[in-house]
Amino acid sequence: MIDLQNSYFVTLFAGIAIFMFGMHLASQSLEKIMANRISRLLNRLSESQFLAIIVGVSLTTLLQSSGAVTSMLVSLGSARVITLPQVMGVIIGTAVGSTLTVQIISLNLSQYALPFFIFTFAIFFFAQKPGVKNLATVGIGFALLFLGLGMISTSAQYYAGVQQVRDFLAILKETPMYSLLISMLFCAVVHSSAVTIGVAMGLAQAGAISLNDALFWVYGANIGTTSVALIASVGSNNIGKQVAWSHFFYKTASVAIFLIGPVHDAFLRGLEAMNLPVNRAIASGHLILNVISAAIFFPFIKTGANLIEKLFPKNPKEDFTAEYLNLDTYQSSALAISYANREILRTADIVLTMIQDSLKLFESGNPLLIESIKDRDNKVDYLYRETKMFLLDHANKSAVAVHQNIMSMIMFLSDLERAADSIDINIITLAIKKNALKLEFSQEGWDEIRHMHANLLKVCQLAIGGFSNRELCDEIIQLKRDLAKDEIHLRESHIGRLNRGMRESINTSSIHLDLLSEYKRIAGLICAHAYQK
């Protein structure tokens, strides 16, 4: 039975929990304080690889977590904000930056943890400014970190004297690779190399493991910390995967070098020759490993990036982007509007293909067609977002007349996006319902739907052409009104079949009427610009 108040087992895991929470609190608060500086650092990634390493060191120092930085890079890669060659240096820099936290915890400041906690909490409690509160929270995080480390050391000293633990550690001593695997798995679970190395420090201070054993914990922690980015890259695009796996291969190759027998032995002898306390020697080993690895791999950054890009090539389905937009190039508002107009017409063409294929959804329940329409809707959403931001950027710099034109373009783009959503959400749902229930339209009803669809295509084609040629507006409005009258006539015709008791019409009534309404709504959205002449 575990004594919940005095058990060293509880002390150990409570220490780990407090240590991890302190790390998380300090990292989160530092991120809030340094948010603007982080943005500026990331914006300068492409200037040089050496600068990228400095950025990596700086970000990891600020956030106190290499895993958090690499996960951020994976997210930026997934959003196509960065490329792998830009951030290879940052990945190397994060490894060096992660050593700072280990250096701090090696100072054995646990005796000052509670006084420091009281002091920083008092500042947090009485402070009024958010900046001061965030800074005090960083201090609280470090106080908890040292408190947790002290609890880990206390429990480690106890367990160092337990025979079963000594026997287990003896097995690990005979086969050091077991220590590497255990620390790697432990680091993958807790998502922190600092926590893992902190546990190794506690065991080493208690005499449970030697410096040689602790080095294998350091090796395992360096590989295990890559799990954070690997998990973040699941489901991301090729760039996100490239960033995550680059981090993994770099860390694994670094450790592999130091696992070579003569290299490891020379490394161990060098640390022992420093005559440092064991916890300081472990922290120094972690620092030296990452600095030497950075120096070795720095000349091969471009080669490594090319290799990883070949291992994780672009997926053609993911390689979709705006073709005509560039916020830095088009200083002339007239030229910017011209290229944005081309992107809007490109968006309109995609929407038109969605309208064209929408009728086929009711002819067969082909899941590939549904997937294709959903993919096209995602492209419309992407182009809507990018083109809108592009136009808004130029609207702020343009004259009043140009500004009004830009607002009209944004409104038409918004209507296109809403029309695509109507097909992606509403019409696909109606088709799935019809096919799942194995319903069939009456021949007369199906002919009417096809007639409505043909008229819709005609109206939309003219409306898209009329966006650039305002002389067509009157014709567009007339066709749209004719389509609205047709919709009323077709609705009345369907109700007439219901009154005659036609079984197919009764079974498909809600789907039939909703589809007519959606087609009418799409026509209204795409023709809306014609009323602004």
pLDDT given for residue 47 in this prediction: 54
**Average predicted confidence (pLDDT) for the chain:** 82
**Tokens 């590939």 belong to residue:** 368
pLDDT digits (tens, 9 = 90+) for 344-393: 888 999 999 999 999 988 987 678 888 888 888 988 988 888 888 888 87
Locate the domains of the chain by residue range. Answer: 8-311, 333-532
Asked whether 44 and 23 are in contact (CB, 8 A), the reply is no
Of all helices (H) and strands (E), which one includes residue 467? Answer: none
Furthest C-alpha separation in the chain: 100
Q: Which amino acid is at 514?
A: D
394-444 per-position pLDDT tens digit: 666 555 445 677 788 889 999 999 999 999 999 999 988 888 888 889 999
Highest mean pLDDT among 9-18, 198-207, 230-239, 486-495: 486-495
Q: How far is CA 532 from CA 106, 418, 466, in A?
A: 70, 18, 12
Average pLDDT over residues 468-488: 88
Determine contact, residues 160/204, Cβ cutoff 8 Å: no
Q: What pLDDT sits at residue 391? A: 80
Which secondary-structure segment (H or E) carries 6? Answer: none
pLDDT of the residue at 514:
92
**How large is the average pLDDT for residues 321-328?**
63
Is 456's pLDDT higher than 70? yes
Q: How crowded is residue 152: how many other Cβ atoms within 10 Å of its Cβ?
A: 28
Residue 320 has pLDDT above 70, yes or no: no
Secondary structure class of 372 (helix, strand, coil): helix
Predicted confidence (pLDDT) at residue 77 exceeds the cutoff of 60: yes
Q: Which long-range contacts (CB under 8 A, 24 or more apart) does 485-494 make?
A: 486/451, 486/452, 486/455, 487/452, 487/516, 487/517, 487/519, 487/520, 490/448, 490/451, 490/452, 490/516, 491/516, 493/444, 493/448, 494/445, 494/448
pLDDT digits (tens, 9 = 90+) for 111-151: 788 888 899 999 988 888 877 888 888 888 888 878 887 78
d(CA 252, CA 336): 47
pLDDT of residue 460: 92
CB 243 within 8 A of CB 229: yes
The packing angle between helices 8-33 and 193-205, to 10°, is 140
| Model pLDDT, residue 319 | 59
Which two three-digit tokens encode residue 391?
Answer: 């136009």
Q: Is it the case that residue 225 has pLDDT exceeding 70?
A: yes
Res 402: pLDDT: 53
Per the CB < 8 A criterion, the answer to whether 361 and 511 are in contact is no
How does 412-447 read in b/e, with b if 16+ C-beta sit within 10 Å?
bbebbbbbbebbbebbbebbeebbeeeeebbeebbe
User: What whole-number percentage of the chain has pLDDT above 70?
Assistant: 85
Residue 78, pLDDT > 50, answer yes
- Separation of alpha carbons 213 and 222, rounded Å: 15
Q: 333-532 belongs to which CATH class?
A: mainly alpha
* 277 pLDDT higher than 90: no
Buried b / exposed e over 121-139, threshold 16 CB at 10 Å, is eeebeeeeeeeebbbbbbb
Q: Can you tell me the distance from the alpha carbon of 146 to that of 108, in angstroms, rounded to the nearest whole number?
A: 8
Tokens, residue 217: 């914990």
Q: How far apart are CA 140 and CA 29, in angstroms?
A: 10
DSSP state at residue 260: S
Look at the chain and count its residues.
533
